[in-house]
Amino acid sequence: MAYPYTHEKEVRILSSGWGDPRSRTLEGWRALGGYKGLVKGFEMGRDEVIETVKQSGLRGRGGAGFPTGMKWSFMPKEKNGLHYLCCNADEAEPGTFKDRELIRWTPHQVIEGCLIAAYAIQADHVYIYCRGEFFEANQVLARAVEEAYEAGIAGEDIQGSGVSIDLTVHQGAGAYICGEETALMESLEGRRGLPRIKPPFPAAVGVFGQPTTINNVETLCAIPHIIRHGGEWYRQWGTEKSPGTKLFCVSGHVCRPGNYELPMGFPMNDLIHEVCGGIRDGRQLKAVIPGGASVPIMDAEECDGCELCYEGVIERGSMLGCASVIVMDDTTNIVRQVRRMVDFFAHESCGQCTPCREGTTWLSRILRRIEEGKGTEQDLDTLLDLGEKMTGTTICVLSDSAAAPVASSIQKFKEDYLALIRRGEAVGAV
């Protein structure tokens, strides 16, 4: 059974098992080559595992793109108490749906990645913090963890290696903010999911006060492959600064939305027009949000020739984030779409920091007023100024995320705003 919408330009490494029911069971996963990375990793030793990951140039897939090997090397070498690994499976960024598929189809790939990473950072316990709404994914993952324990792959003395690593699947309770790594740890500890102040950083004081590393599902899923085949092998794809493959979650006005695993640096034009079959109904591209709701919006001109890698998107004034490409055609009412995104952030703000708590709702109210044709041109200045005051002033970056689409859309689609303000007419109906 082929996973819906595959394309020949894809390089399917992480997603190779998708659509194949075998990949959901331990036995099947082994038959597909699973857990070879784990065995090899244990043979290599910790330092070499970290070194290999460094060589591969793998960057965190949760959105920030921080080099994974370097993150691991921040963990104390000398152990003084327990170490933890948290697998961030609280995928909730609007437009993102890759981690869910990785868990649903290849739970053992996640577990294998977790175990290798845990081994490398000397973690005693892995918490997989899985988004609460992912009901099926949670069930699949829990079953796979049970299988792993039964097979002696997890728990005490893993397959006679002397390494002991426990695995716990923790189901979230429906808060976007718990995907922020420090809020995730708070939530894991049983408190409200409020981001913590850094420093101290998790590698020094993390979950339960112990050194902790938090990695995204997709990052961890790349690990077994990198360990099996080597860092250089991984670098055959992608660019110098963004090696490897990446899962692109494409949604919006394309003919074939979906998850596509492509080498980093893949041209956006090809993604939209070839891989995804072009804009629906032969319409014109209006805008793209390349990395989930929290990155600046791009207009059609900026998209043209954009290479989808960390540095390539930054060059075009946005960010790759978690590569959740939201495509909008010329029927789109940008003001409404931005307002909807801001509504999301207003709803999901934890409410700790004043600029975010008050600012997100304020932005949303002004946008709604403009949408209803009751805005003024002064409102645009206010929106921009509030956005500026919400950027870089809070504990986490949710506030920045809410401000980014507002500021970028006013910059790039000012005519849409002015049409509503001056004539009460929306450009685009959707």
Partner 1 sequence: MSDNGLEQQTVTVTIDGQEVTVPTGTTILQAAEAVGTRVPHYCFHAGLSAPAQCRLCLVEVEGAPKLMPSCVTTVQEGQVVLTESEQARAMREGVLEFYLANHPLDCPICDQSGECELQNYVFAEGRKHGRSREPKRVFGRDDFGGDVLFYGDRCVMCTRCVRFMNEVAEEPLLTVVERGDRSVIDTFFEEGVAGSPYAGNIVDICPVGALVSKDFLHKARAWDLEHTPSVCPGCSQGCNIELHTRDNIVQRLKPRLNLDVNGFWMCDYGRHRYEWLNRTDRIDEPLLVGPDGRRASAWSNATEEVLSRLRLSLGGEGAVLAVASPYASNEDLAELRALVTVLGGKEIVYRSPRADEEIPLPGFPQLSRRHDLTPNSGGADRLGMHRVGGDDGTGGLQHAEEHEGVLIVMGDELRDVTESFGSRASFYLYLGSYPTHGAKAAEAILPITTFVEQEGSFTNCEGRVQRFWPGLQAPGLALSAWRILGTLAATLSEEEEAPSGADQAFGRFAELAPEFSGLNFGSIGTLGAKASGSATSAGG
**Separation CA 406–CA 355 (nearest Å):** 15
Asked whether position 143 contacts partner 1 by CB under 8 A, the answer is: no
Q: Which two tokens stand for residue 30?
A: 């082994």
Between 159 and 361, whose beta carbon lies closer to partner 1? 361
103 binds partner 1 (CB under 8 A): no
Q: Which of 341, 342, 411, 401 is nearest to 380 (CA)?
A: 411
Decide: is 401 part of the binding site for partner 1 (CB under 8 A). Answer: no
Closer residue to partner 1, CB minimum distance, 55 or 394: 394
Minimum gap (Å) between residue 108 Cβ and partner 1? 35
Angle at CA 90, nearest 5°, toward 86 and 91? Answer: 130
Nearest CB to partner 1, comparing residues 12 and 369: 369
177 counts as binding partner 1 under rule CB under 8 A: yes
Residue 351 touches partner 1, criterion: CB under 8 A: yes
- Does 366 help bind partner 1 (rule: CB under 8 A)? yes
Q: How far is the CB of 371 from partner 1 (least distance, A)?
A: 13
**By CB under 8 A, residue 382 contacts partner 1:** yes
Q: How far is CA 148 from the centre of its chain?
A: 26
Whether the CA torsion 16, 21, 22, 23 is positive or negative: it is positive
Tell me whether strands 125-130 and 166-171 are parallel, antiparallel or unpaired.
Answer: parallel
- Nearer residue to partner 1 within complex by CB, 73 or 361: 361
Sheet with strand 125-130: strands edge to edge: 166-171, 125-130, 84-89, 212-216
Q: Shortest gap between Cβ of 376 and partner 1 (angstroms)?
A: 9
What per-residue string of b and e applies to 297-320 under the rule 16 or more CB within 10 Å gives b?
bbbeebbeebbbbbebbeebbbbb
Which of 188/254 has CB closer to partner 1?
A: 188
Count of residues binding partner 1 (CB under 8 A)?
32
Q: Which is nearer to partner 1, 195 or 258 (CB)?
A: 195
Quick one: which of 114, 250, 395, 419 contacts partner 1 (CB under 8 A)?
A: 395
Closer Cβ to partner 1, 106 or 364, answer by number: 364
Stretch that binds partner 1, among 90-98, 141-149, 308-316, 378-386 (CB under 8 A): 378-386
Q: Whose Cβ is closer to partner 1: residue 80's or residue 378's?
A: 378
State how far the Cα of 287 lies from the Cα of 327, in Å rounded to an integer: 6
Yes or no: say if 354 and 393 are a contact pair by the CB < 8 Å rule. no
104 contacts: CB under 8 Å, gap ≥ 6: 24, 136, 137, 140
Element holding 325 (H helix, E strand) = strand 324-329
Burial class of residue 338 (count of CB atoms within 10 Å of its CB; 0-12, 13-18, 19+): buried
190 scored as a contact of partner 1 (CB under 8 A): no
Instruction: For residue 360, state whether it binds partner 1 (rule: CB under 8 A).
Output: yes
Q: If binding is defined by CB under 8 A, does position 354 make contact with partner 1?
A: yes
The two structure tokens encoding residue 77: 């070498």
Tell me the residue ranges of DSSP E strands in 11-80: none
Among 30, 241, 357, 414, binds partner 1 (CB under 8 A): 357
Site residues for partner 1, 319-348, by CB under 8 A, read 346-348
Under the binding rule (CB under 8 A), the answer on residue 197 touching partner 1 is yes
- Dist. CA 148–CA 326, nearest whole Å: 36
Q: Does 358 bind partner 1 (CB under 8 A)?
A: yes
Chain positions contacting partner 1, by CB under 8 A: 175, 177, 192, 197, 346-355, 357-362, 365-366, 369, 382, 385-386, 388-389, 392-395
